[in-house]
Amino acid sequence: MITAAAAVCISLAALPVSAEGTDDTLTDGLYSQYMIVVDADSDQVLAEKNPDERMYPASMTKMMTAIVAIENIKNYDETITITEEMIAGLAEENASRIAYSEGDEPVIRDLLYAVALPSAADATNALASKVAGGIDAYVDMMNQKAQQLGMNDTHFVNTSGLHDPDHYSTARDMAKLLNYCLQNDMFRDIFSTEEYHLGAVESFPDGIDIYSTAAVAAEKKEADISDMIGGKTGFTYEAGYCLAYWTQINKLNLIVVTGNAGGTMEDPLHVVDAEETMRRLHGWHRKTFFTAGEVMHTITVNHSFKHQEMIYIEAPEEFTLDLPEEWKTSVTCSLPDEVTTDFKEQEVTGALIVKGGDKVLYTKDFTITIPRERNFFARQWKRIKSWFSKDD
């Protein structure tokens, strides 16, 4: 007699595939010293290159500057009066800026676009003053947000990303930040804009057109970044050319962060890396290994008197991995197919292993409890009850 035991659900959280030893075709030959490619839907890491080494984020910092402002301001059409304190020293530091003058009154919405597109430091200072009363207090808010997001190797000392030895992050932390920011509708709309017209102020009576620095850099290099939905560049001499961007390719929702690429202002190599990375990503797709409720493995439990139970190991949700299309994959489970019970519960261990060719892409270790053998009296009582339940 065979009966079915309750199904056992095993969670299959996606692990960083690159950490399991996949090939590094996404990072080979690129100029950037730091890099990470993350699936924003599953958190799967497709590729990485020194992702946890400290780097200088330069103007990628402004992603944090923008999201803190967006989350703490209710009226984006309110104006802010530019003061001397907001713009002091920026020209001397060669910081990117709109060149607002003291007394200009831009609306907050324009300042947010100025932060994201041309990377304007005068706009970041104006937002800091509005939200926190000053830059130092605002930077404290940025660092608090970083800790909330699990950006454990990130520290900010300014709102703009201008170089400071104590202003640092990692490619992985910057990817966490961008993934979080993209959950915000306002940020996502701004981030995915290439061109915007700033409204009139005293210094610019007709307003002024601003452009995404990523688009400008790509035009200089004649790089095709048409798959990029939005991006935030960064540059200081110490940081090199940096870029954090969002792309969707073959239904993959991806975040890419690169840092310290070489080049010059007229020859920026971060967009070259972006063009090549997105070209390579066209060879990737999402493969489904198990759907929700699908049985991944079955264990036959042999009791005494020819009594058997079946334990079904099920996936509680869909399990997918992003993989190169040409990879031939296989799935194996090392749990036993059959066990014999004792009068005590038993534990059996095993692993689910996904391979691409000879390389292990994913492993999941788990332990299954095998129910104990029923005692003699319990078996007899069950048998008697079954007799009386039979039809005459």
Known catalytic residue: 62? yes
Which residues are CB-neighbours of 381 under 8 A, at least 6 positions away? none
Spatial CA neighbour of 131 closest among 139, 121, 120: 139
Known catalytic residue: 192? no
Which residues are CB-neighbours of 162 under 8 A, at least 6 positions away? 93, 95, 121, 236
Tell me how far apart the alpha carbons of residues 97 and 336 are, in angstroms, rounded to a whole number: 65
Tell me how far apart the alpha carbons of residues 331 and 353 are, in angstroms, rounded to a whole number: 6
- The DSSP element (H or E) to which 273 belongs, if any, is helix 270-281
Tell me how far apart the alpha carbons of residues 161 and 124 are, in angstroms, rounded to a whole number: 10
Torsion of CA 44, 48, 54, 60, to 10 degrees: -70
Can you tell me which residue has the tokens 């939005």?
230
Known catalytic residue: 119? yes
Which tokens is 366 given? 């788990």
Phi and psi, residue 307, nearest 5°: -95, 130
Catalytic residue among 62, 176, 221, 232: 62
Tell me how far apart the alpha carbons of residues 59 and 212 are, in angstroms, rounded to a whole number: 13
Catalytic residue among 18, 59, 129, 160: 59
Catalytic residues: 59, 62, 119
